[in-house]
Amino acid sequence: MLGWGNRHNQLAAGNPEDLEPPVVDARVDTRRIALALGGGAARGWAHIGVLRALAAAGVVPDVVTGCSIGALVGGCLAAGRLDGVEAFARSLSRRRILSLLDFRVSGGGLIGGERLRALLGRDLGDLRIEDLAIPFACVATEIPSGHEVWMTRGSLVEAVRASYALPGVFDPVASEGRTLVDGALVNPIPVTLARGLGADIVICVNLNGDPRLRGTVVPVHGTETPLQPDPPAGWMNRLRLRRGATAVPPIPQAARPASVMTMAFNIAQDRIARSRLAGDPPDLAIVPRVGSIGLFEFHRAAEAIALGRQAAERAMPEILEVVGDP
C-alpha cells in the first residue's frame, strides 16, 4: 500500500539477492518509518495485535526498536518469526508458565532464565542483529553504571534476554564486559533509539498509557488509619484466633513482597517513560488499554493481542495520515 514498505515486502518474500534494483521515483515516499515497542511484561503481548493491524493496513516498518517485552516481540518481527511468538503466547497457561521458570535460591535473580533462553534459541537460533531483514535494536541497562546500552549487533537471543532481564527476577546478562539488565530502567519506550537508527517518523506503542495505570498526586493524606497487621505467626496463635471472636484478615495482594516489587518497577517505568517521551516525543503513540492485565499474567495473551489490535485500529486514521504522502 505504501511505497516505503515495498522493499521490505520483497525481502520477506524471498532471497535478498532476488530483489529488483530500487527505482528512484520522486513520487515514492523515501522516509524511514520506525516502530518503538515499549516494555510492560505480560501486557506486551498487545504488541502482536498492534503489528497485525498495521500489517493488515499495509504499514510495514523500515526500523524496529524495542525494550523488554517489546524487544522480544520486535526482534521476532525483524527476524520474520512473528507467527511463532504469537503461537507461543497463545499456548501459555499458568501451568506452562511455571514449567518455563527455573527458580533458584542463589545468583542474581529468582529465575535463572536458562529454560527461556533455550526456548528462544530453538526459535531464533544463531540469528545476529546485523543480519535481520528489518533493522532492529533494543535497549538494556548496564549496572552499576546505569548506562543506557543500545544493542545493535551480535546475538539476537542474548540482546533480547538482556533487554528483559528484570532486576531481582532474572539473572543479569554478561555481554562484552558489561553486566546488563532490563532496559526499562532507563528507556522504556525507545523512541530515541529509533531516531538514532535514522528513522524520520517514529510510531511508538506505550503499554503504560492506559488511564487506569497513570498515577497522580494525592494532595491531602493522613496517617490515622494504620496498615493492616500481619496475621500472627505460629500454630498457637492461629489456634487462638480460631477459638476467639476476632479474625485477622489476610494480607492484601498489593502488600505481598513480589507484588510490591513488580508494582514499584512498573511505577518507575511509567514515570521514566513520561519524562523520556516529553523530551523526545514520537510522531504518534498507540496506547492499548491493557490496565486490567497483570504484569505477570502471560496466560492472557489472547486478550492482550485483541486489545493491541483494537488500539491500532482506533488510531489507524492518524497512522495513515502520519505515514502517508510527505
Residues forming the active site: 68, 182
User: Helices (DSSP H) in 79-204: which residue ranges?
Assistant: 82-91, 94-99, 114-124, 156-163, 191-196
Distance CA 75, CA 64 (A): 8
For 76, the enclosing helix (H) or strand (E) is helix 69-78
- 220 three-class SS: coil
End-to-end CA distance of the chain: 15
SS (H, E, C) 250-304: CCCHHHCHHHHHHHHHHHHHHHHHHHHHHHCCCCEEECCCCCCCCCCCHHHHHHH
Closest CA to 207 of 231, 190, 226: 190
Distance CA 122, CA 102 (A): 17
Q: Which amino acid is at 316?
A: M
Q: Are 53 and 305 in contact (CB under 8 A)?
A: no
Distance CA 160, CA 164 (A): 6
Residue carrying the nine cell digits 549487533: 153
